[in-house]
Amino acid sequence: MPTRPMRPCKHRGCSALVPGGKTYCMQHACEEVKWKPDAVRGNRHARGYGSAWAKRRDRILLRDCGLCQVCRRTGRVSLATEVDHIVPKAQGGTDDDANLQSICHPCHATKTGGERR
């Protein structure tokens, strides 16, 4: 794979260099996905969880800029559509903000698939 030249992050005043093809550094990646709370409100399958969960879910997505935290750790930028329990509730995890993270569907599927084993 040819190496592309590094470019500065497009965020005003940010001097971080990002690989060619990318626009923002990980810090400002949320500006790239342009996440808005309403963007994910459409496909609510949080029904059954009640509105308290829906509110918490929105808050977590907002906190994480709507970015999948699992992808983010590996340097990828993808839009989160779900909120995941870091420690599964079945294993004593809580609904605490600290135990919740934004996650994209593929990562969530991988994670829950792995937990089942």
* Residues that bind Zn ion in the complex, under the rule CB under 5 A: 9, 11, 14, 16, 25, 27-28, 68, 70-71, 104, 107
Residue 11 or 57: the one with the smaller Cβ distance to Zn ion is 11
Residue 46 or 102: the one with the smaller Cβ distance to Zn ion is 102
Residue 4 or 7: the one with the smaller Cβ distance to Zn ion is 7
Q: CB of 90: closest distance to Zn ion in angstroms? A: 21
| DSSP string for residues in the chain | -PPPPEEE-SSTT---EEETT--S-GGGHHHHHT--HHHHHTT---TTSHHHHHHHHHHHHHHTTTB-HHHHHTT---B--EEEESS-GGGT--S-GGGEEEE-HHHHHHHHHHHH-
